[in-house]
Amino acid sequence: MKENNETTKHKSSTMSSILYPNEPTTDIINDHPSRICMDELPLDIVFNIFSRIPLKSLFQFRCVSRPWCNIIDHPYLANMHIEQVGDEPTPILVFDPRLTKSTMTMSLYLLKEKGETLETSENPLLEFDLKGYCFTGSCNGLQYFTEGGDEGCVIVSNPLREEFQRLPSIEIQCPNLPRWKTYGLGFDISTNTFKMICVFFRELNFGGSSCYGLGTLVHTVGTNTWKEIDEVPTYPIYCTPVFAHGALHWLVDPFSDFDNFIVSFDVGKEKFDLIPYANLQSKDFRFFQLVDLNGDLGMTDLSYDTKIEIWVMKDYVPKKWVKEYILYIGAPCRRPDNRHFKVVGLWKNGGILLKSYEGYFIYNQETGLTWYSYNRVNSSVYIHRGGLISLSKYVVVSLLFFYIYVRYCDTGNNAAECVVVLDTNLH
């Protein structure tokens, strides 16, 4: 028994020296020698315990001590937490995507369900000025915003930590080609790094005649450059990508001959591939949407006039689709389908949040479809899964790239445990 205890302590000491080489081993968990607490546990057990704690509590625990703060801020815990805590309510970001030459103020709000009304909190959790950028997507707790100019600027953010990083600009000198780019942020679990993918039009030269094709750039967050890779999508892609199971996913451009496939990009291997559609009733691309369902890849079929089907890829290796949800919703009078709906994501208590031109709806298997009035009608809704990821662990965060004003409001709640609204006001 004594030998086992010595082995355990040696294991903890070894992990501590690797994770915190500049700190005394005995002070990793508890910096007070007279206390009897978690400093006798191996760090892998401590990480496992912390990975099961809700975000709100973890952010509060950062104030307990410097060693606790170090552990909570470590990328290893952030990655574990994404996998372990899958049942937390998913924050949802809402913002107005209008562009202007003047300042754009974005604000994060709490979104509450009050009766049959969706209401935002009176004061924002976070607000900042961000000119000319649009919210594009999210991955493992990070958001990214893209700018529509020629330079192709991208900003990555974790709003819960007040951290922002502008990625290096992209300069593509092809004046005769369409100024089209699509971006996607993914996480490489093999190297614990985030990668931004950019697919763009590039000029090709065949025997003196020029034409255009696709090119792919990859940027590893924390570096200063983009690299071009040989891999390109088999077919043109469109729609905001969904990151799931280590890969980014796009629909194939509807004007191609193979619009019944999903294009995937393995972030670790940096390889494109094709995934067949689920067994859908229709072959018309206009009826399909990709959606992030708390980390799983979902595909919606809106071709019916009496229901909406949501397929989920539960087993990614054999690419097996499962019909997970059937929403019995009748199409409006004289409409042959439910294409006017958009599935936003999963709501609390097994509900599903949808949007249409009539507003926002929550579908529950027991109560059916419920319409909710909403006090910010000009906003758009997007999924965002809160996370512990700190950009400072990947890069030295610099706020000198652009002007940012951050203001936190005391609401008594945390954005990680409720629905959040991101709204923009133009000045």
Give the pLDDT of residue 93. 60
Lowest mean pLDDT among 53-57, 260-264, 379-383: 379-383
In this structure, what DSSP letter does residue 125 have?
A: S
| Number of domains forming the structure of the chain | 2
Q: Tell whether 77 and 100 lie within a shared domain.
A: no
Of 84, 103, 135, the residue that ends a domain is 84
Sheet containing 296-301: order of strands: 288-293, 296-301, 308-315, 320-327
Q: Please state the rounded mean pLDDT for residues 156-169.
A: 84
Comparing CA positions, the residue from 227, 153, 94, 193 lying closest to residue 391 is 193
Query: Which CATH number goes with the domain that contains 298?
Result: 2.120.10
Q: What are 83-117's pLDDT values in tens digits?
A: 775 545 555 665 644 445 566 676 767 677 777 77
Statement to judge: residues 78 and 101 lie in one domain: no
Q: Pick the last residue of a domain from 64, 84, 104.
A: 84
> Are 102 and 251 contained in the same domain?
yes
What is the C-alpha separation between 289 and 291, in angstroms, rounded?
6
Tokens of 327: 């929403």
For the residues of 36-62, what is the DSSP string, one character each? -SGGGS-HHHHHHHHTTS-HHHHHHHT
274 and 291 assigned to the same domain: yes
Q: Which residue has the higher pLDDT, 76 or 186?
A: 186
Q: What is the DSSP track for 370-402?
A: EEEEES-TT-EEEE-------GGGTS-----SS
pLDDT at 34 over 60: no
Question: Same domain, yes or no, for 23 and 169?
Answer: no
* Same-domain pairing of 315 and 346: yes
Rounded to an integer, what distance in angstroms lies between the CA atom of residue 137 and that of residue 156? 10
Same domain assignment for residues 291 and 386: yes
Based on the fold, state whether residues 141 and 77 are members of the same structural domain.
Answer: no
Query: Same domain, yes or no, for 195 and 229?
Result: yes
Residue that wins the pLDDT comparison between 376 and 184 = 184
**202 and 302 co-located in one domain:** yes
Q: Are residues 192 and 65 in the same domain?
A: no
- What strand order describes the sheet that includes 227-229? 181-188, 193-206, 209-220, 227-229
**Structural domain that includes position 314:** 92-426
In this structure, are 218 and 331 located in the same domain? yes
